Amino acid sequence: MKYHILTFGCQMNVYDTNRLERFLASSGYEPAEGEEDSDLLVLNTCAIRDSAESRVYGTLGRLAHYKKENPKRQIAVMGCMAQKEGERIAKKAKVVDVVAGTHAIPLIPGMLSDAASGKGPQVNVSKSAEHLFDEPENVASLTEVNRYPVFSSIMQGCSKVCSFCVVPYTRGIEVCRPPEQVFQECTNLVERGYREVTLIGQNVDSYRYEEIDFADLLVRLSRIEGLERIRFTTSHPQDITPKL
């Protein structure tokens, strides 16, 4: 089984695409050379602007002919637009087999299996954090070593709830990733040849996991031998501390 992913939007979506690739690899999928030779087409979507959503529906319309050519070919929609629109996507675009929200990435292979077995379109837009930071076993990052920048997600969501921003409604409130997971991921990236990592989150400087804050996390990561530069995005002025 081969897959092809189209990614729209921000750095977090790029990271989520790479994460889905690992789960697909653990389920026996391989990357396709392009749309034409794929058994699975995935759209990783953005919901910041109406134009981004219109582009996704336009792309789904364009991809519909692949489904007509081979009804067993599957189409999945994930990301912020999937979280925001949910079942409306499956109702509006009949070619869609799976709609997976921002917290459901680890569940996508199982959802694809259920859809293929005749259970109809599968939709999961739960904001439960139960599987939020799950990783497949024995599958390393599939990011090419010559692809820069490379990202490590340290958190998901934002609790600021600014009037102009959709993030709390699509990514949920802040949930911080355990520092041990971040450290291990960055260590693995360095072992694969990277010398620079960009830490990403909706508001990275508000990171706190138990007693570890963002400044503490940076100190820990700076001790990884071979990691020469650490970048981060995005931050909020309210959470910049003298310690940081």
Each residue's pLDDT tens digit in the chain (244 positions)? 999 999 999 999 999 999 999 999 999 999 999 999 999 999 999 998 878 888 999 999 999 999 999 999 999 999 999 999 999 999 999 999 999 999 999 999 999 999 999 999 999 999 999 999 999 876 655 555 556 789 999 999 999 999 999 999 999 999 999 999 999 999 999 999 999 999 999 999 999 999 999 999 999 999 999 999 999 999 999 999 999 9
Q: Is the whole model's pTM more than 0.85, yes or no?
A: yes
113-126 b/e (C-beta count within 10 Å ≥ 16 → b): ebbeeeeebbbbbe
User: What is the predicted pLDDT for the residue at 33?
Assistant: 94
Q: How far apart are CA 18 and CA 24, in angstroms?
A: 10
Structural domain boundaries in the chain: 2-124, 151-239
Residue pointed to by tokens 């699975």: 40
Is residue 222 within 8 Å of 213, Cβ to Cβ? no
Q: What is the mean pLDDT of the chain?
A: 94
User: So what's the pLDDT on residue 146?
Assistant: 56
Q: Which helix (H) or strand (E) holds 153?
A: strand 151-153
- Fold (topology level) of 2-124: Rossmann fold (3.40.50)
Nearest Cα residue to 46 out of 90, 86, 10:
10
Closest CA relative to residue 103, chosen from 3, 170, 23, 27:
170
Give pLDDT tens digits for 167-200: 999 999 999 999 999 999 999 999 999 999 999 9
CATH architecture, domain 151-239: 2-Layer Sandwich (3.30)
